[in-house]
Amino acid sequence: MYHDDTRYDWPKYGKRQSWSPHSHAIVKADVEGVNDGEELWNKLVAKRENFILTLNGHVLADGLGRTVTQTPAGRNVPQVLVNFQMKPNGGDGWLRLLEFRRDGKTVEVVDYSPTRNQRNESPQNKFALETSKVI
């Protein structure tokens, strides 16, 4: 995921998406061994109907993003980005907590910092996701 709620996609966005895996120096040594978010979606997630959610990280800017994409079979798969490393003190201990509800399809999300004893309840940091039940 990228912080603007899209997936990394080198052919579509190129260098406009900072820190793309395809722009790293390692790519020169192993072009075939690098995949961005769109490639991971197409090669892995979209081909398997048992994915209910993807968790993504290590992207700077505000370090937050989310999107939902439908698989070819019509299942919605939420994708969530979170990265707190650029916050004060290396992240202030922020954690993203996910509570999977008993209904089997709802995930309640909230960010919490035990070092600050604080929850972040802004809309980017507290929300619910709807996942598809895996048959």
Q: Which domain holds residue 71?
A: 10-130
Which segments in the chain show pLDDT lower than 50?
none
pLDDT digits (tens, 9 = 90+) for 36-66: 999 999 999 999 999 999 999 988 888 999 9
pLDDT for the residue 134: 60
Cα gap 53→84, rounded to integer Å:
20
- Examine residue 5 and state whether it is found in any structural domain, yes or no: no
- Examine residue 4 and state whether it is found in any structural domain, yes or no: no
Report the number of distinct structural domains present in the chain: 1
Task: Please name every residue paired with 80 in a beta bridge, in sequence order, or none if there are none.
Answer: 55, 66
- Examine residue 114 and state whether it is found in any structural domain, yes or no: yes
- Examine residue 36 and state whether it is found in any structural domain, yes or no: yes
Helices (H), 59-132: 88-91
Contact of 49 with 75, CB cutoff 8 Å: yes
In the three-class reduction of DSSP (H, G, I as helix; E, B as strand; rest coil), residue 122 is classed as coil
